[in-house]
Chain A
Amino acid sequence: MIRLVFRHLGAEIKGLLRVPGFLIPTLVFPSMFFLLFAAPYLKTPEAANQTTAGFMTFAFFTVVFFQFGVGLAQERENPWSTYVRTLPLAPWVRPLAFLGAGLCFALAAAGVVAVVAALATPIAPERASVPGLLAALVLGAVPHGLFGIALANRTSAKAALPIANLVYLLLAFLGGLWMPPEVLPDWARTISP
């Protein structure tokens, strides 16, 4: 059964890698935002560290949120997933593969941000903080995943994408992932963490 999880994971990743419309927004957009809006203003290693971590978080959560919100909504309406349920496989195999594929792309998206930051900013990561960041990414992804599932259960596949965009960009802004909460407008600062 574990072998089948990897089979489905592999098929999912292979299929998505061939869709530029998925790959580019996922892997390129967060780094592009970072390069355009953040990198030029990061003069000190401390600022670079903090903002890079913020954008990595943004990239990671984006993939998780969209994979669950939009991906699941599409998956539910997809005749292929109905067919897969008739195959002899335990019911948890496909959700696990789905989750795995989401994590792989989320890590890749965060990785691209890290690489861009290393090239374009005076970032000076402390080795000891890396595991902590990764743990925060994965743990923080849980509510985003659940949030995505909630969205997927309430919307059709077509509506899920625009709604997810709207909700997500607003949340990222309010959460201070792009700009530190201190520089946000007053009304936003009161609800930002």
Chain B
Amino acid sequence: MGILSGLLHPDRGEARLFGEDPHDWRARLRLGVTPQASGFPPTLRVVEILELVRAHYPNPAPVAALLERFGLLPLARRYAERLSEGEKRRLALALAFAGNPALAILDEPTAGLDVESRRRLWEEIAAFCKEDKSVLLTTHHLEEAERLADRVAILHRGRLLAVGTVAEIKARIGLKRVAFRARQLPELPGVARAERSGDRHTLYTADADRLVRALVEAGVAFYELEVQPLPLEEAFLLLTREESA
């Protein structure tokens, strides 16, 4: 995000924003970014900050509409230093959309938002994307990614673990846990991860039915079979643990 918004240079490789170098300000004319909510000029009013940011764009969104969309109407004349944390978050989001951008980069947009504001933001993002525009957002909530995103990338310790549509990601981490006891195991299909302690096996697989059929067909004398779905969060943890092992 820092690289795409022209703040950092990549250590390796190359970043392009609308086909141009993000360090060139002209490339950023169609980009909107959320600032860190802690850093507004304390003695400027909400509406003054919005006006200042709008002034950078050729075709900005109208102030009144921005205030309305992000629930800032009653706060328009308030100094930034008098805003609550949630209100600052909403102003930060309004700024990302102030220039009517084609791409909005939102860093943890729903962190610190109350439930109602989060719903409104989700609707806002959905409406924005219908206009053939894009949002790039980070989140720690898989539920949020599932709800909003067309494409998901999972980053762990600076490395890309998985990229794809929500369905693809879910297929990758929508694992089931198959546990049983058995002496010997043959080669089994579709096992993402296998754990063993004594004769107790725990296998993680996307297709539990196929795995169990394979066990039966191979004539494995297994007993105490359990099949459990794995919550997304846990599956995600499993993926990342596997990666760092």
Interface residue ranges, A against B (CB under 8 Å): 3-4, 7-8, 11, 14-16, 18-19, 78-80, 82-83, 85-91
- Which of A16, A82, A87 contacts B56, CB < 8 Å? A87
> Is there a chain A Cβ closer than 8 Å to B65's Cβ?
no
Shortest A104–chain B CB gap in Å is 16
B157 in contact (CB, < 8 A): no
In the A-B complex, the 10 residue pairs with the smallest Cβ-Cβ separation, listed nearest first, are A79-B39, A83-B35, A18-B43, A79-B36, A86-B5, A80-B39, A88-B28, A86-B33, A88-B29, A15-B43
- Shortest Cβ gap from A180 to chain B (Å): 40
Q: Chain A interface secondary structure, helix, strand, loop or mixed?
A: helix
Contacts of B7 in A (CB 8 A): 82, 85-86
B31 at the binding interface (Cβ < 8 Å): yes
Stretch at the interface among B47-55, B144-152, B171-179: B47-55
Measured between alpha carbons, how far is A86 from B40 in the docked complex, in Å? 14
User: Could you tell me which B residues sit within 8 Å of A by CB distance?
Assistant: 5-7, 25-29, 31, 33, 35-36, 38-44, 48, 52-53, 55-57, 79, 95, 99
Contacting pair A80 B43 (CB below 8 A)? no
Residues of B within 8 A of A87 (CB): 25, 28, 33, 53, 56
User: Please, which residues of chain B bring their CB within 8 A of the CB of A83?
Assistant: 33, 35-36, 39, 95
Chain B contacts of A16 at CB under 8 A? 43
Contact B25 A8 (CB under 8 A): no
Asked if A86 and B6 sit within 8 Å, CB to CB, the answer is yes
On chain B, the residues within 8 Å of A15 by CB distance are 41-44
Contacts of B6 in A (CB 8 A): 85-86
**Does A80 lie within 8 Å of B57, measured CB to CB?**
no
A7-B55, A15-B44, A82-B7 known; A90-B39 Cβ under 8 A: no
- Asked if A8 contacts B52 (CB within 8 A), the reply is yes
> Which of B26, B27, B35, B56 is close to A80, meaning CB atoms less than 8 Å apart?
B35
22 A-B residue pairings within 8 Å (CB atoms) = A4-B55, A7-B55, A11-B41, A11-B44, A11-B48, A15-B41, A19-B43, A82-B7, A82-B35, A83-B33, A83-B39, A85-B7, A86-B5, A86-B6, A86-B7, A86-B33, A88-B28, A88-B56, A88-B99, A89-B25, A90-B25, A91-B25
Give bound CA distance, A15 to B39, whole Å: 14
The residue on B at minimum CB distance from A80 is B39
Closest to A17 in B: B43
Beyond known contacts A3-B55, A82-B7, A88-B31: 17 more, CB 8 A cutoff = A7-B52, A11-B44, A14-B48, A15-B41, A15-B44, A80-B35, A82-B35, A87-B25, A87-B28, A87-B56, A88-B25, A88-B26, A88-B56, A88-B57, A88-B99, A89-B25, A91-B25
Distance between B4 CB and nearest chain A CB, rounded to angstroms = 9
**Chain B residue with Cβ nearest A1:** B25
Partner of B39, one of A7, A78, A85, A86: A78
- Residues of A contacting B36 with CB < 8 Å? 79, 82-83
Distance from B23 Cβ to chain A, minimum over Cβ atoms (Å): 9
| Residue ID in chain B nearest A77 by CB atoms | B39
Q: What CA separation (Å) do A8 and B5 show in the bound complex? A: 20
Q: Smallest CB-CB separation from A78: which chain B residue?
A: B39
In angstroms, how far is the closest chain A Cβ from the Cβ of B11?
19
Docked pose: A82 CA to B44 CA in angstroms: 17
Task: Tell me whether A89 and B56 are in contact (CB under 8 A).
Answer: yes
Chain A positions within 8 Å of B57 at CB level: 88
Inter-chain contacts of A18 with B (CB < 8 A): 43, 79
Which of A85, A87, A89, A91: most chain B CB closer than 10 A? Answer: A87
Within the assembled complex, what's the spacing in Å between the Cα atoms of A18 and B41? 11
